[in-house]
Chain A
């Protein structure tokens, strides 16, 4: 299983606010930045949030990230049908063999 833990699924109706959680440990989320990626069906992932809460140019401010201790969250407000996608969190892990670790992904369905 994945080093970072995400719920496998989430859902909401258009206009709603949804949050996706990502739980880790002191060696990853607890001591490093969290990144979020959006993967639309059949496409490559896209960087959505970097350094816990920063949005790359072009990402709508409906998307926001936060981190507290060894957990992080992605919030999507004003949900739209085009937000239906898989969302992955990631962080560097400082354990014996330093590497990037991902969450298992959360499939967001817009009802």
Chain B
């Protein structure tokens, strides 16, 4: 079955760019939307955005100016970049596959904790 694994630095300095990659195994990355979601400690889920394998994207309006998503079908990976980070961006970051409708997230990674601190 399809599995997702997030990877990237666990510590990022304020004002720098957070970069994460999600590796898809057990299936093809093609023909699906792929999402990033985050969750600050003790708080709820926040959708960051999604990318289709063609490169088409939708971003959360509140983060749009700082978010860039990309996909590398040759590596079965997709990535997130969040620029100009602050402490408010400290969270567990999840990657997820969106189902064939493009709206439900049916496979999730285990999540990776990113802390923004100097």
Residues in chain A near residue B109, CB distance under 8 A? 44
Establish whether residues B103 and A97, one from each chain, have CB atoms under 8 Å apart when the complex forms: no
- Minimum CB–CB distance from B95 to chain A (whole Å) comes to 10
Q: Residue A111 at the B interface, CB < 8 A?
A: no
Given A88-B45, A97-B64, A100-B35, also A47-B59 (CB < 8 A) = no
Select one of B61, B94, B110 contacting A99, CB under 8 A: B61
Q: What is the bound-complex CA distance between A100 and B35, given in angstroms?
A: 10
Given A50-B104, A51-B104, A98-B58, also A44-B94 (CB < 8 A) = yes
Q: What is the bound-complex CA distance between A80 and B50, given in angstroms?
A: 34
Given A44-B111, A105-B45, also A37-B105 (CB < 8 A) = yes
Q: What is the bound-complex CA distance between A30 and B50, given in angstroms?
A: 22
Q: Residue A68 at the B interface, CB < 8 A?
A: no
Residues in chain B near residue A43, CB distance under 8 A? 110
Q: What is the bound-complex CA distance between A99 and B60, given in angstroms?
A: 6
Establish whether residues B103 and A33, one from each chain, have CB atoms under 8 Å apart when the complex forms: yes
Establish whether residues A50 and B99, one from each chain, have CB atoms under 8 Å apart when the complex forms: yes
Establish whether residues B44 and A33, one from each chain, have CB atoms under 8 Å apart when the complex forms: no
Q: Residue A46 at the B interface, CB < 8 A?
A: yes
Residues in chain B near residue A105, CB distance under 8 A? 44-45
For chain A, residues 61 to 111, give those with C-beta under 8 angstroms from any C-beta of chain B: 88, 90-92, 96-105
Residues in chain B near residue A33, CB distance under 8 A? 101, 103-104
Residues in chain B near residue A60, CB distance under 8 A? none
For chain B, residues 53 to 109, give those with C-beta under 8 angstroms from any C-beta of chain A: 58-61, 64, 94, 99, 101, 103-106, 108-109
| In the complex, per-residue mask of A21-43: 1 if CB is within 8 Å of any chain B CB, else 0 | 00000000000110101010001
Q: Which 10 A-B pairs have the closest CB atoms?
A: A97-B61, A100-B47, A50-B104, A44-B108, A105-B44, A102-B45, A35-B104, A104-B44, A47-B106, A99-B60
Mind listing 9 A-B residue pairs with CB under 8 Å?
A32-B103, A35-B105, A44-B111, A50-B104, A97-B59, A102-B44, A102-B47, A104-B44, A105-B45
